[in-house]
Amino acid sequence: MNAPQPGGTIEIAGKPVSRLGLGTLRLTGPGTWGEPADRDRALTVLRDAVHIFGITHLDTADAYGPHTVEHLIKDALHPYPDNLLIATKVGFARPAPGTWTPHGHPVYLRASVEASLRRLGMERLDLCYLHRIDPDVPLADQLGTLAALRDEGKIGHICLSKVTTEDFETARKHITVAAVQNVLNIHDRYDPVMEQCRAESIPYVPYRPLDAGAAAAGGNVSVPLCWLLARGPHIAPIPGTSNPRHLAANVHAVDRDGWT
């Protein structure tokens, strides 16, 4: 892995990783369900990202497929390079294609973490996000379960996804928040949680940084990605793709504009 880390580096959970990461939502079938149409191409995207382009921050979730992408990551990259940070998420059930349901019951969260460990072939999840807060389960119970798993050595660091400023402040009463993942792009330009993370030096990971492609009209990904990187050194976008050419375009966009 001799390639420069695209976008420069950011420290997440004590590990320096590329500021430009890879989101893996698109490495599934239609409706984020099942296997990708071209499994070999999905594996190529993962391998190229890490071994050719120097991306050292991969973001996934047990809900992607469900389970599909965690298997793909293991098949493509295990044994993992020491400098690779893999983030996964738990707490979102998938009853059907295109359907997502928050599920934060402690038994479910614990079972999900154990299953992700097996699928990824890891003894500890580097980063584990609570994918969504379940409104039907006390937040203290959801975070307490993840904290117990951290104390058992099965989770390295706990993160939050799709949270409000109030969620963020409440969560910080129970855990140390290692990163936050919310929507931010040139169409959805403001998220007060991004400013909270800046103030606390907490990495902020924008998902949907290209607004599902809408922010890259005409194939120009340089403007939206560099706009995000310019929001602050705590920003680490995770554009996703299932196309090796698009992956290369994303990396070259931030390289070309002087972010490495």
Residues noted as catalytic:
64
Q: Contact 154/113 with Cβ under 8 angstroms?
A: yes
Alpha helices for 158-204 (secondary structure H): 165-171, 192-200
Q: How far is CA 17 from the centre of its chain?
A: 13
Rounded Cα distance between 17 and 11, Å, is 6
How many CB atoms lie under 10 A from the CB of residue 16? 14
Q: Tokens for 101?
A: 């349901």
Question: Where is 144: in which H helix or E strand?
Answer: helix 139-151
Task: Give strand pairing partners of 33.
Answer: 65
Q: Contact 7/254 with Cβ under 8 angstroms?
A: yes
Beta strands in the chain (DSSP E): 9-12, 15-18, 22-23, 57-59, 85-90, 92-96, 99-102, 125-130, 155-161, 177-181
